[in-house]
A and B are shown apart, each in its own frame.
Chain A
Amino acid sequence: MSGTAELVMAYGIMSAIIAFYVNHLRSRIVFLTSRISEYSTSIEEE
């Protein structure tokens, strides 16, 4: 038992945690940018 499977599992989980948060930030930036753009357009039309 050298722990190779555990090594792969640990790096996999830690990578997934970072990937999840980076994707969360990306999707929030995309969503909020489009929302602000919509609001700006509506304000200009008024």
Chain B
Amino acid sequence: MHPDLSVRIRNGIIVTSMGILGIICTALLGIFYAPGVDPMAWNAPEAQRIFYWHVPFAWSSFLAFSMLFVGALSWYRNRSEWGWRWVSTGSDLGLLFGAGVVTSGPIWGSVEWGVPWDWGDLRLNTFALLTGVALFLVLSRRSQPDGQETRDTLAAIGLFGFALVPITAIATTLYQKRHPGIVVVDGEGTGLDPLMRTVLMFGTVSFMVLFVGLWMLSDSVLRLEDTAEKAKRRLD
């Protein structure tokens, strides 16, 4: 194995471990340290603490979908290998973090709203669709033979899928039904307790570190696959 790749994997393991440590601390701070919400105003005040992972999961998924978009653009512009690696890693991480959001959200919703899902809420549905696009890309990459045609098709789906990101973001403020709007920005009916905000920001930074670590490892796996494929061809 190339020495650079060994260093990349080692660094990826270190950064991922730091991220995991950070998100564990976030969960503990969110559950045991952060102040609770008004039990009179919330149906399930304890379930609100899901928020400290649910929100950074959602933000990380948007970062992954942005990565997918940039990678797809680069693939179309000059068929760059790094562009395809970004498409692959972006779809993997988009599915990972998107799956966390669409499972934790309904668990929280079922106890807070009385229903796990609201089919009339644009934000929930576009986000689920976005995660569905990531799932489709991951499954297609694994089931289809790797080649320029496959990459072109999947990169196109990634590009069009990204259109759901601004729709989901706009739905946060303009078409808000059951799901709460932006809470980190202080405004009328919004805003967070300073301690809650600190824990949330700590969680966000931890998830960003985890994201970078997973990105480094995922990128290394793709490079290893490429090296193994080249070695196999040489042997054949």
* A→B interface (CB under 8 Å): 1-4, 6-7, 9-11, 13-14, 17-18, 21-22, 25, 28-29, 32-33, 35-37, 39-40, 42-43, 46
In the bound complex, CA of A46 to CA of B44 (Å): 68
Q: A14 contacts B104, CB within 8 Å?
A: yes
Residues of chain A with a CB closer than 8 A to B235's CB:
39, 42-43, 46
- The residue among B48, B99, B221 with the most chain A CB atoms within 10 A of its own CB is B221
Taking CB atoms and an 8 Å cut-off, the chain B residues in 168-189 that contact chain A are none
Q: A17 contacts B103, CB within 8 Å?
A: yes
Task: Tell me, yes or no, whether B73 is within 8 Å of chain A by CB.
Answer: no
Given known contacts A36-B228, A43-B235, A6 and B44 CB-to-CB distance under 8 angstroms? yes
Taking CB atoms and an 8 Å cut-off, the chain B residues in 1-27 that contact chain A are 1, 9, 16, 20, 23, 27
A-B CB proximity, top 9 nearest: A3-B47, A3-B44, A39-B231, A32-B224, A2-B46, A10-B104, A3-B46, A10-B50, A3-B111
Q: A33 contacts B47, CB within 8 Å?
A: no
Q: A3 contacts B231, CB within 8 Å?
A: no
Q: Nearest Cβ distance between residue A17 and chain B, in whole angstroms? A: 5
Task: Tell me, yes or no, whether B227 is within 8 Å of chain A by CB.
Answer: yes
Interface size on B, residues (CB 8 A): 44
Given known contacts A18-B96, A22-B214, A29 and B111 CB-to-CB distance under 8 angstroms? no
Q: Nearest Cβ distance between residue A35 and chain B, in whole angstroms? A: 5
Mask: chain B, 196-232; 1 = CB below 8 Å from A; 0 = not: 0000000000000010001001101100110110011
Taking CB atoms and an 8 Å cut-off, the chain B residues in 151-171 that contact chain A are none
Q: B111 contacts A6, CB within 8 Å?
A: yes
